[in-house]
Structure 1
Amino acid sequence: MIITRRATLTGLAGAALAPRAAFAQRKIVRLIVPAAAGGAIDVIGRLYAQRVAPALDESWVVENKAGASNTLGAAEVARAAPDGTTYLTNADIHIMARHVMRSVSYDPLADFTPISRFAMSPMVLIGSTKTPETLPALIAQMKAKPTEYTFANSGLGSMGHLATESFKLRTGTSAELVNYRGTAPAITDVVAGQVPLMVAPLGSALSFITDGKVRAFAIMGAQRSKLLPNVPTAGEQGLSDLNFTLWYGLWGPKGLPAETVQRVNATVQAASKDREIVEKLTALGAEAVTEDPASFAKFIEAEIQRANRVVEEAGIKPG
């Protein structure tokens, strides 16, 4: 069972409709989403929660706690007791906090227990309908009129942030970042033409691209997306090394018992193999991931090393 924070009281008020004993035995678990509702982290986190909760015979309450580059919600999980009642669903931005913020109350590695990745999704460079129609024309105009271009950014240290800085370095362009509290509000402003550009998760931008509300200039991945076969990769357009894949995962607080980690990981892996989950992720421009906790931990270590290189190259400093 999965319920939102807003629906908690309603659910409790209607508990008489279910057997009292069953309700009493079902553990209430908080799933903290440190980003705005409607963004990729929120949507994918809820998708998995809907499968994981009943498999574990638990009630998962989804709470959106956005702000401070996803650190507000993450900090709450870091402070939580490792008793299996509080989890964090986040994206790659989780490992970047200390690179972009002067004061972070937790260590993204030492203060959390990695459980599993959920999914991964390529990034896509999008622009409002007011921007040029092709990537070469866009780059030329960015060089000619640099003050007219800004990038919407879902959060400091996000994969979109790293990809944006790398794009500017590779193209010799400059543009300020406009920071938002999540992907959804950032894309909304690009659609409205308030901000001309964004490097967004494919899943979050897909419907706007297919509806013609934004332009798609390049897939920032190793290959084209089957959902957007006519959109070339950045590499195909002469911009090598612009391969940025967003990933989503699940963590618990530091000290989470190994048996709890394994039990939750097993339900996540089972969900990732479920046809309905796979189809829903595909429609979102994402791909399910199945891996054990140790593999997720090793993946995180490799991602940190890559992020460190990008940060140094782009000169990103804590703000």
Structure 2
Amino acid sequence: MEDRLIGRRQWLAASLAAAATAALPRGARAAASYATGPVTLVVPFSAGGQFDSIARQVARPLSADLGQQVIIENIGGAGGNIAASKVARARPDGQTLLMYGGNIAIARSMYRKLDYDPQEDLLPVSRISIAPHVVMASSKLGIQTFAQLRDRLKQGAQMSYGSPGVGTSMHLTFEIIKDHFGLDIVHIPYKGGANVMTDLVGGQIELGLIAVGPALEFIRNGKVVPIGVTSKARSPALPDVPAFSELGMPDLDAGSWAGLSVPKGTPAAVVSRLNAAVAAAVRTPELHKLFADQGFVATAGTPAEMRQFALQEARRYDPIIRKLALQN
């Protein structure tokens, strides 16, 4: 008797679910059930970095929402373009996603030959997070503010700054700052933000620019001095540090950001389903706290808003890339 009751309940539940699904519009039905197996989220850098951390944190709520495991695949190389090219050529069914950021948005400016178009072959889904960059001085330099830095340079001081590499948003942002204020500071490229911080703490370089998150520990321990953040408003993680909009660059709003994209041709209903899943993920208190602890701000929005933001990034950095002759 009990077995018959259990069987009837299961049949009734299945019938109700089928009826509810059948009542949905065709596009919504496809979107609700599109993921038929594990979803691959391609990260265009090696494991352990900032992008990888964001991907792994957002993969958990996405897996729960989509009802399928989201698997991280790290594919480094060529400034993220190897991974982006692979996703652009993937089947447009929503099963292969790309962590899209500023490096890919500016790829057409940085590389003469690409086998994909970052704006046309990848459809934006939503932004996920953003973190401003922070300009820091070595504590050995003995300055506390951007004004003091400018005075020291006017007096003839020779200085260098480190960034995580040529063509990164940190490098390009610092060059925009230099260009705006007419500063003479030598660029020293490193292979990552950790290397920048090692030499900045040691005094081998006078200045550094990396994302806020990885710099927080060094700032809080007093090993480096933050003198400005590159967002339009102050960073919640560094509320006492002025934004460059307060220091004479009202239009500067730069940072390290991450979003989600899919191959061109992915059905609109699937893009909408993924967009809703990202929006739900970034609203969770757990993800907000995880991001805040690392200096990120959780953000989301429409695909159109992400596309516009990516185009703005390309327009912001293209002039300085051309001026520095960085195109490969």
With the length of structure 1 as denominator, give the TM-score of the two structures. Answer: 0.80
Q: Would the alpha carbon gap of residues 103 and 317 (structure 1) be closer, same or farther in structure 2, given more than 3 Å must change?
A: same
Q: Check the 8 A contact 1:39/1:182 in 2, yes or no.
A: no
Matches within 5 A, 1:108-123: 108-123=118-133
CA distance in 2 between partners of 1:73 and 1:82 (Å): 15
With the length of structure 2 as denominator, give the TM-score of the two structures. Answer: 0.78
- Point out the more displaced range, 200-209 or 248-257: 200-209
- Point out the more displaced range, 42-51 or 70-79: 70-79
Q: CA deviation at 1:117?
A: 0.4
Q: CA deviation at 1:248?
A: 1.3
The aligned residue for residue 164 of structure 2 is 153
The aligned residue for residue 20 of structure 2 is none
Return the letter of the residue paired with 1:69.
Answer: G
The aligned residue for residue 96 of structure 2 is 86
- Point out the more displaced range, 84-93 or 299-308: 299-308
2:105 pairs with one of 87, 90, 95: 95
The aligned residue for residue 21 of structure 2 is none
SS at match of 1:70: helix
Residue 318 (1) aligns with residue 317 (2): no
The aligned residue for residue 10 of structure 1 is none
Q: CA deviation at 1:36?
A: 3.8
Q: CA deviation at 1:268?
A: 0.5
CA distance in 1 between partners of 2:52 and 2:262 (Å): 17
Q: CA deviation at 1:96?
A: 0.7
Q: CA deviation at 1:125?
A: 0.8
Q: Would the alpha carbon gap of residues 132 and 235 (structure 1) be closer, same or farther in structure 2, given more than 3 Å must change?
A: farther
CA distance in 1 between partners of 2:57 and 2:197 (Å): 21
Return the letter of the residue paired with 2:137.
Answer: G
Q: CA deviation at 1:205?
A: 1.8
1:278 pairs with one of 282, 288, 304: 288
Q: CA deviation at 1:155?
A: 5.3
CA distance in 2 between partners of 1:72 and 1:130 (Å): 40
The one-character-per-residue Cα deviations of 1:248-270 (angstroms, maximum 9, x if unpaired) are 10111222222221211111010
Larger radius of gyration between Structure 1 and Structure 2:
2
Residue 38 (1) aligns with residue 48 (2): yes
CA distance in 2 between partners of 1:178 and 1:254 (Å): 38
Return the letter of the residue paired with 1:138.
Answer: L
Matches within 5 A, 1:228-243: 228-243=238-253
2:143 pairs with one of 119, 133, 144: 133
- Point out the more displaced range, 164-173 or 203-212: 203-212
The aligned residue for residue 7 of structure 1 is none
The one-character-per-residue Cα deviations of 1:1-22 (angstroms, maximum 9, x if unpaired) are xxxxxxxxxxxxxxxxxxxxxx
Q: Would the alpha carbon gap of residues 141 and 316 (structure 1) be closer, same or farther in structure 2, given more than 3 Å must change?
A: farther
Q: Would the alpha carbon gap of residues 301 and 273 (structure 1) be closer, same or farther in structure 2, given more than 3 Å must change?
A: same
Q: CA deviation at 1:152?
A: 1.6
SS at match of 1:66: coil
The one-character-per-residue Cα deviations of 1:152-201 (angstroms, maximum 9, x if unpaired) are 23451x33233111111122123343444554554455445554433222
The one-character-per-residue Cα deviations of 1:223-271 (angstroms, maximum 9, x if unpaired) are 2223222212223334444332332101112222222212111110101
CA distance in 2 between partners of 1:285 and 1:186 (Å): 18
The aligned residue for residue 207 of structure 2 is 197
The aligned residue for residue 18 of structure 1 is none
Mark the runs of 5 or more structure 1 residues left unpaired by the alignment.
1-24
The aligned residue for residue 268 of structure 2 is 258
- Point out the more displaced range, 59-68 or 233-242: 233-242
Residue 77 (1) aligns with residue 82 (2): no
CA distance in 2 between partners of 1:285 and 1:305 (Å): 25
CA distance in 1 between partners of 2:166 and 2:89 (Å): 22
The aligned residue for residue 314 of structure 2 is 304
The one-character-per-residue Cα deviations of 1:69-111 (angstroms, maximum 9, x if unpaired) are 2223222222322233321113222111121233333211111
The one-character-per-residue Cα deviations of 1:51-86 (angstroms, maximum 9, x if unpaired) are 102221222222222332222322222232223332
Q: Would the alpha carbon gap of residues 309 and 192 (structure 1) be closer, same or farther in structure 2, given more than 3 Å must change?
A: same
After superposition, the CA RMSD in angstroms is: 2.7
Q: CA deviation at 1:139?
A: 3.2
Return the letter of the residue paired with 2:76.
Answer: A
Q: CA deviation at 1:119?
A: 1.6
Mark the runs of 5 or more structure 2 residues left unpaired by the alignment.
1-34
The aligned residue for residue 185 of structure 2 is 175
SS at match of 2:178: helix
- Point out the more displaced range, 91-100 or 35-44: 35-44
Q: Would the alpha carbon gap of residues 308 and 263 (structure 1) be closer, same or farther in structure 2, given more than 3 Å must change?
A: same
CA distance in 2 between partners of 1:128 and 1:265 (Å): 42
Calculate percent identity across the aligned residue pairs: 33
